[in-house]
Structures are given as C-alpha cells and as structure tokens.
Structure 1
Amino acid sequence: MGTDIYGFVECSAEYGEEPWQAAIDLDLLYDGRDYDAFGCLFGVRNFAGFRALAERRGLPPDASSTVRARVEDWGTDAHDTTWISWAEIGRIDWSEPAEQVDARIHEYRRTADGGWVMAGKASWSARVAEVTGLERRRDPGRLFRYEDHDWPEGTEWRDGEDRLYRIGRMTRREAIPVDGEWEPVWTVMRTLAARHGDENVRLTVWFGS
C-alpha cells in the first residue's frame, strides 16, 4: 500500500476572523507520490535517509478551522501530521546530502556536455542484475532487496557509454528538483509570503496510507 500526502497552504493575514486561514488545498497544486521529497521534508517514507526538516510536529495549535475540520474527518487514518513555514523552506541548503547512503542503486544518464545526471533509482530488472552481478550474489529462492547489499559508497557500474549505476547519497535538490512537481506549491507560498511575510505562510500536511 502506498502513502499519499494531503494538506493546505495556510496564511496568517491582518484581516479575517481567524489567526490563520486555509489559502489553498494542496491537492490543487501537487498530486504526486514522491517518497524522496516526503522523506526530505517530513521524514515519511525516508528511504534515502535524509535529516527530516519538519517531522511529526503535529497540527499547529492555531491551525485554521478548515484544516482542523479536514484532519478530524480523517480521524486515525491521518498520520505524521506536521507543518513547515515558508521561512524554513527558504533556508534549506539544497546541496545537503542525506545522512545515510541510499539503499537503492542510483541510475545516471550521460548529458550532452559529457556529464552525468540522475535519472532515477534503479528498480529490479534483468539488466541491473547483469550489470551489477546481483544474480550471482543472490541466494537461490531468496527475494532480493537492495538494502541487503554490502557495496561501499561510491561503487559504480558502467552500462555502455551513456548509463551508469552508483551507490551513493541523494542531495535535497535531487529529491526536490528545480521546476519539479513541487514548484507550483513553492510558487503559491512565495507569492503569499511576498505580501504577508515568510513566517506567515506555512504548509500544513498529513499522510494517508
């Protein structure tokens, strides 16, 4: 069973009946299921081993009535409720690597200028098995898991001229790329913060599995 994220961008303005108001439903801005982003920001499905920025803070005590009612509707099905302000997002060091080596094998593709760019985390395939020698290492009848490997960080396998597999750590930028799925969320928060202040805009979220 997978895990999805839900929530609202909230804003604290000088007008309104409540200290904080629900500005926009997260569903209107983001409909992905990116576990690396979830782990990087909130410590949920943190397979890459990031130091989570806003893990399990709970519902803000001054949460808007809209957010509070929605979370109450979810009841015990909602988990890992938390929030992060736009000010905190603005202070993220996007070059910061994860604290742990990723158990998954990273796949890179050759760029036009001869460099390498991450193309994903390699899923099980006959090709990965052949290039890395996993089939020879796997015990008969035992389901292979990438986290069972004992390769040191930096181990690489070349697959022709344009593909590379590597054991390594993700950076926060690799987890949440510029102009990626989260950019609409950042755009709305940035716009509200320009008017109301960085500390007066936050993303309040919960997860469902």
Structure 2
Amino acid sequence: MSTEVSGTIECRPLARIWGEDDEDAVWHAAIDLFLLNAGNAYDALACLFGVRNSFGFQPLAEGRGLPEDASDGLRAAFNAWGGPQDAHGTTWISWAELAAANWDEPDGSGALSRSKVAGPGTHWAPVWDVMRTLAELHGPEQVRLVVWFD
C-alpha cells in the first residue's frame, strides 16, 4: 500500500507588520501541496517528515501534529481529507527551519543526502520556491508547510 502526502503552505502576512501577537496576524492557507506536484518519493518523505523512514534519515519535522493556530483553510482541507481519523504523520515545518537545515546530511547508509532526495532538481523544488518567495515577503518564521499522510 502506498503512502501519499497532502498538505498546505500557510503564511502569516500581517505578523511582520503588526507583530505575531496582533489579532490580525493570523495564518492563511496560501497554496495546496497538490498544485505543486511534490510527489511521494519515500526517501524524501523520510528525510523531511520521518514517514516510511527505512533510509535512516534524521527527519527535519516529525510528528508535530496539526498546528494549534492553523488557518481555517488548512483545517477545512485537513477535515475534508478525513481529519485525524484518516490522516497520520501530521506535522509542520517553517521556512526558517528549512533554510537552516543541513541539506548535505546523509541517510543511514551515507548513500543519499537530504539535498539529493528533496532539494533542488527534485519534485520538492517548486514547494521550496513558493515558500522562499513568501518568506521574502513576510519573513521566514511566518511561512510554514503543514502535511499529513494516508
């Protein structure tokens, strides 16, 4: 049985202007992961989120769950997918964390690197491009990717 990834990129545009504690500094669903064709290569899912991690990667963001302050759009997408009853491995990662990650870090065998399986030139590159652009506009801590799996 295959494992499919679903998710949404969110951003919090007014946090940079008014501060994170401002009542208008809420998260907004920016784009569905499906539109960016991230694919479901297991080595990428392993190194990013710890899903199907038979490769021995140290995942960047494993098992964090759905953010408490998730946008209404993200909650609607998550619930339409089946919510916590049907999704597993729900987690999230900010652009700041992705930008600071060691992309040269290898898997357990030393044969693959994080960059090779989920970096530039992979199906994940369009996701990183969108997140990078949003981070340039709104700040790296104000952009995150939220994912879940079936």
Please, which of 40, 61, 69 is the counterpart of residue 54 of structure 1?
Answer: 61
d(CA) in 2 for partners of 1:172, 1:24? 24
Aligned to 2:19: none
Aligned to 2:142: 200
More strand as a share of residues: 1
Please, which of 88, 97, 100 is the counterpart of residue 97 of structure 2?
Answer: 88
Using the TM superposition, give the Cα deviation of residue 72 of structure 1 relative to its aligned residue in structure 2, in angstroms.
Answer: 2.1
Structure showing greater radius of gyration is 1
- The answer to whether the 8 A contact 1:48-1:169 is kept is no
Runs of 4+, deviation exceeding 6 Å? none
**Counterpart amino acid of residue 37 in structure 2:** Y
1:119-161 deviation digits (Å, cap 9, x = unpaired): xxxxxxxxxxxxxxxxxxxxxxxxxxxxxxxxxxxxxxxxxxx
Q: What TM-score does the superposition give when structure 1 sets the normalisation length?
A: 0.64
Aligned pairs for 1:48-127 (under 5 A) are: 48-73=55-80, 74-75=82-83, 76-98=85-107, 100-101=108-109
Percent identity between the two aligned chains:
52
- The answer to whether the 8 A contact 2:38-2:127 is kept is no
Aligned to 2:10: 10
Aligned to 2:18: none
**Counterpart amino acid of residue 134 in structure 2:** L
Please, which of 13, 19, 27 is the counterpart of residue 20 of structure 1?
Answer: 27
Question: Any unmatched runs of 5+ in structure 2?
Answer: 16-22
Question: Any unmatched runs of 5+ in structure 1?
Answer: 102-167
CA RMSD of aligned residues (A): 1.7
Using the TM superposition, give the Cα deviation of residue 169 of structure 1 relative to its aligned residue in structure 2, in angstroms.
Answer: 3.3
- The answer to whether the 8 A contact 2:12-2:138 is kept is yes
* Aligned pairs, number: 141
More helix as a share of residues: 2
**Counterpart amino acid of residue 198 in structure 1:** P
1:50-76 deviation digits (Å, cap 9, x = unpaired): 001100100001000111122223131
Aligned to 1:44: 51
1:159-202 deviation digits (Å, cap 9, x = unpaired): xxxxxxxxx53211222242221111111101110010000000
Please, which of 87, 107, 127 is the counterpart of residue 185 of structure 1?
Answer: 127
Q: What TM-score does the superposition give when structure 2 sets the normalisation length?
A: 0.87
